[in-house]
Amino acid sequence: MKTIQVREETYRLLSKLKEAKKARSFDEVIFNLLIKELGIEADMFGADRGRVKPFSPEDRMEDREW
C-alpha cells in the first residue's frame, strides 16, 4: 500500500469519477484510467491478479516428501 498526494481539485474529480463508475476504491479508478491511457489490456494481468499468494518454503518441489 502506498500513499500519494493530490490537489483538492484532483481529489474531487476522482471522487466524482469513482461515483459515476460505481468503483469500489480510488485504486480501481486510477488503475482503469491508466489501463485506458496506456492502451494495455486489463486481462494481461491475469485472472488471479490480487489473489495469488507468494511461494512459501513448503512449495519447493525438491523439499516435498514423495
Structural contact between residues 43 and 32, judged by C-beta atoms closer than 8 angstroms: no
- How far apart CA 8 and CA 55 sit, in angstroms, is 40
Cell reading at 37: 491511457
pTM beyond 0.85, yes or no: no
Tens of pLDDT, residue by residue over 22-45, are 999 999 999 999 999 988 876 666
Cell reading at 39: 492502451
